[in-house]
């Protein structure tokens, strides 16, 4: 039986903040939040698509152009959310980017960008929002988005695997810390499998190797063939949240067997072997 965390936070009438909301998974999370009766603060580094997406939504929506790499920008997002709505019930640290290539070829700029968006972005969300959530002394939920890649390091996406493994660790530390102080703020680690989105639109630095280009073609085809839509995915996420789950693995078929295999290889001291990620 899966252990859960008890009561979930207010959805109807509550407020959700979603970073990286102009595309892909964030759009599904946003539409589902509105469908549940939530008010919405959506944030993205790309202001125009963010405004365009906001214009498609029906409900109380505040769009705040935000660069999650920049703590000042995320602080401004938190200010804007509390100024407008006076409370935050759910924070989705969702913004993230892909970075591909052989690890010895990836340009430092691309490597740093992946770390900065995927890890600093989540940390900035924690730093800007947790003190405010604690001060409110009411239930709230933080959902940090990692990836199956955070549990299963893959070839040709080292910055992504490294950054998402960091999100797995950071989120669990945060979870324990909030338990230590008896806070009513709960944490969940969201680990998507394939979801149709823009994540593979531009995962390269200026020098794209043929191997990285072929890998991205495979991953794009895999997302198009097997990926859930953002709306299908969001349904599963909010189901898990309603059940009070820390571990949100909406597509268990993409992680359970390979993760068990990986843990067994460690426990049995068997060397890891390259597997075909296009079949995940
Ligand atoms: N789609 C998948 O199959 C999949 C699988 C595992 C994990 N994820 C994770 O899900 C999350 C959402 O990704 P997606 O697939 O919807 O991709 P996406 O590219 O469609 O959406 C990501 C959004 O984040 C925004 N963003 C990028 N840098 C930003 C920054 N510095 N500040 C604010 N916003 C920024 C982008 O502009 C974009 O709108 C990411 O963390 C990603 O790593 C996705």
pLDDT in tens, 223-246: 999 999 999 999 999 999 999 999
52 located within any domain: yes
- pLDDT digit string (tens) for 45-70? 999 999 999 999 999 999 999 999 99
- Cα separation, 74 vs 235, in Å, equals 27
Residue whose CA is at the smallest distance from ligand 1 atom 36: 20
Q: Is residue 47 part of a domain?
A: yes
Token readout for 28 is 């599904």
Pocket of ligand 1 (CB under 6 A): 19-20, 22-26, 44-46, 66-69, 94-97, 117, 121, 145, 147, 192, 194-195, 197-199, 223, 227
Average pLDDT over the chain, rounded to an integer: 94
Residue 116 forms part of a structural domain: yes
3-state secondary structure (DSSP) of residue 92? strand
What are 185-201's pLDDT values in tens digits?
999 999 999 999 999 98
pLDDT band at 280 (very low <50, low <70, confident <90, very high): very low
Catalytic residues: 160
Q: Kindly give the pairing relationship between strand 61-65 and strand 90-93.
A: unpaired
What confidence score (pLDDT) does residue 42 get?
Answer: 99
Contact status, residue 100 vs residue 204, Cβ threshold 8 Å: yes
Q: What's residue 3's pLDDT?
A: 40
The answer as to whether 5 is a domain residue is: no
Query: Residue 215: is its pLDDT beyond 90?
Result: no
> For the chain, how many structural domains are there in total?
1
> Span 13-32, mean pLDDT?
98
Residue 3: inside a domain: no
Q: What is the pLDDT of residue 9?
A: 87
Which residues, 6 or more positions from 187, have their beta carbon under 8 angstroms from its beta carbon? 141, 142, 143, 144, 171, 174, 175, 178, 246
Nearest Cα to 188, choosing from 112, 246, 128, 116?
246
User: Quick check: is 7 in a domain?
Assistant: no
State the average pLDDT over residues 122-134: 98
* Per-residue pLDDT, 165: 98
**Ligand 1 midpoint to CA 74 (Å):** 16
Within 10 angstroms of residue 69's Cβ, the number of other Cβ atoms is 19
> Residue 140 forms beta bridges with which residues?
185
Residue indicated by tokens 């230590």: 180
For residue 238, give its domain range.
15-279
Give the pLDDT score at 270.
96
Q: Are 53 and 21 in contact (CB under 8 A)?
A: yes
Strand, helix or coil for residue 210: helix
In a domain, 4, yes or no: no
pLDDT exceeds cutoff 90 at 95:
yes
Structural domain includes residue 100: yes
CATH number at residue 203: 3.40.50.720
| Structure tokens belonging to residue 268 | 């049995």
């Amino acid at each position: 039986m899966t252990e859960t965390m008890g009561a979930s936070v207010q959805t109807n009438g509550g407020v959700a903040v979603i970073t990286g909301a102009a595309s892909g998974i964030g759009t599904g999370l946003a539409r589902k939040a509105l469908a549940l009766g939530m008010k919405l603060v959506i944030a993205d580094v790309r202001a125009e698509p963010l405004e365009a997406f906001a214009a498609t939504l029906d409900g109380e929506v505040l769009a705040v152009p935000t660069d999650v790499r920049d703590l000042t920008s995320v602080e401004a997002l938190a200010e804007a959310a509390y100024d407008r709505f006076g409370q935050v019930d759910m924070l989705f640290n969702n913004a993230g980017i892909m970075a591909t290539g052989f690890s010895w070829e990836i340009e430092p700029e691309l490597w740093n960008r992946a770390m900065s968006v995927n890890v600093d972005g989540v940390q900035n969300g924690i730093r800007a929002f947790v003190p405010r959530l604690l001060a409110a002394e009411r239930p709230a939920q933080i959902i940090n988005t990692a990836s199956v890649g955070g549990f299963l390091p893959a070839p040709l996406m080292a910055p992504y695997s490294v950054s998402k493994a960091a999100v797995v660790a950071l989120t669990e530390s945060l979870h324990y810390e909030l338990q230590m102080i008896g806070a009513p703020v709960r944490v969940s680690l969201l680990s998507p499998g394939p979801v149709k989105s823009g994540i593979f639109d531009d995962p390269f630095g200026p020098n794209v190797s043929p191997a990285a280009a072929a890998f991205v073609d495979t991953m794009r085809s895999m997302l198009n063939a097997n990926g859930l839509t953002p709306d299908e995915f969001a349904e599963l996420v909010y189901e898990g949240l309603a059940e009070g789950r820390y571990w949100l693995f909406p597509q268990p078929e993409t992680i359970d067997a390979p993760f068990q295999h990986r843990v067994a290889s460690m426990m049995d001291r068997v060397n890891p072997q390259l597997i075909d990620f296009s079949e995940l």
